[in-house]
Amino acid sequence: MRKAFALVFVLWSGAVWAAPNPAIQGVMAGIDAAAPGVKPDKAISVKLEKAMGILEAQLNNSRLSPDDLIYAHLYHAKAQYFLAVNQYHVLYRDYDREDARGYVYEFKQAINLMLDQTAKSGKDWKKELAEANWQAGDMSVRMEMDAYTAYDTFFPACAALGRAECKAMMAKAPKRNPQR
List pLDDT tens digits, range 16-64. 446 688 999 999 999 999 998 888 889 999 999 999 999 999 999 878 9
Is residue 93 situated within a structural domain?
yes
Does a structural domain hold residue 7?
no
Note the pLDDT tens digit of each residue in 125-166. Answer: 999 999 999 999 999 998 888 888 999 999 999 999 999 999
Residue 10 lies in a domain: no
Beta bridge mates, 38: 36
In a domain, 47, yes or no: yes
Q: How would DSSP label each residue in 26-41?
A: HHHHHHHHT-BTBPP-
> Rounded to an integer, what is the distance from CA 69 to the centroid of its chain?
12
Question: Does a structural domain hold residue 49?
Answer: yes
- C-alpha span between 79 and 49 (Å, rounded): 8
The CATH number given to whatever domain includes residue 131 is: 1.25.40
Structural domain includes residue 15: no
Dist CA 95 CA 139 (whole Å): 11
- Give how many domains the chain has, as a whole number: 1
Assess if residue 128 is contained within a domain. yes
For residue 35, the enclosing domain spans 25-171
Q: Does the residue 45 lie in any domain?
A: yes
